[in-house]
């Protein structure tokens, strides 16, 4: 069984979707063994504690530079014997040393249908603002592997979500999470765990 680390920066709704899926027995080949938060006091750490999962904080501003931050993050992952990493709303870019340590073993969920509305600076509500500004009728979510290119790794799964008249970035974000992210991410994670747990 693979040990999974989930990296978070906020409330941890995608983390909760993964934990709920795991509790339902939908990922027999993996389990969440660590939650890493990019700052202290985020609600995702409470979710981890309630699920009996250890949580740690690795805060970028606590380190002199990105290499020191990456080294601290890697130390936390290795210290817990992590096999697979999931970025679930983690707002720090991973450096080359972290990506090299986990080739095709870091998953990210992005709130659009890549290659639309992705790349540097496109996260959170900004993605949905861009989709609405463009006037698209369909958006969605993408789960992909992480490589050195922001949102550039191999796509694992996508789910389309309708854009409705009168949508705001907030209503669209909520619909994309409920209809796509919370289903797509746990399913893709279970699939990857099954492939690697051989």
Taking Cα atoms as reference points, which of 192, 127, 194, 191 lies closest to residue 161?
127
Is residue 182 packed enough to be buried (19+ CB in 10 Å), middle (13-18) or exposed (0-12)? buried
Taking Cα atoms as reference points, which of 150, 146, 179, 144 lies closest to residue 162?
179
C-alpha of 101 from chain center: 17
Catalytic, 128? Answer: no
Phi/psi at 175 (5° precision): -65, -40
Residue keyed to tokens 């006091």: 41
3-state helix, strand, coil in the chain (%, to 5): 40, 20, 40
Task: Give the Å distances, CA to CA, from 38 to 3, 11, 87, 108.
Answer: 20, 12, 11, 15
Of these residues, 80, 110, 128, 144, which one is catalytic?
A: 110
Catalytic (active-site) positions: 110
């Amino acid at each position: 069984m693979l040990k999974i680390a989930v990296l978070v920066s906020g409330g941890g709704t995608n983390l909760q979707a993964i934990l709920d899926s795991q509790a339902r027995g939908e990922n027999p080949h993996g389990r969440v063994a660590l939650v890493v938060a990019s700052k202290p006091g985020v609600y995702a750490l409470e979710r981890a504690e309630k699920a009996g999962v250890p949580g740690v904080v690795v805060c970028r501003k606590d380190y002199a530079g990105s290499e020191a931050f990456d080294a601290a993050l890697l130390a936390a992952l290795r210290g817990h014997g992590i096999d697979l990493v999931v970025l679930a709303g983690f707002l720090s870019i991973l450096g080359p040393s972290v990506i090299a340590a986990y080739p095709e073993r870091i998953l990210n969920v992005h709130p659009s249908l890549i290659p639309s509305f992705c790349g540097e600076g496109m996260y959170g509500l900004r993605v949905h603002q861009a989709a609405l500004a463009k006037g698209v009728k369909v958006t969605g979510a993408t789960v992909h592997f992480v490589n050195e290119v922001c949102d550039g790794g191999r796509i694992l799964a996508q789910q389309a979500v309708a854009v409705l008249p009168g949508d705001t970035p907030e209503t669209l974000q909520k619909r994309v999470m409920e209809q796509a992210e919370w289903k797509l991410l746990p399913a893709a994670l279970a699939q990857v765990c099954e492939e690697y747990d051989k």
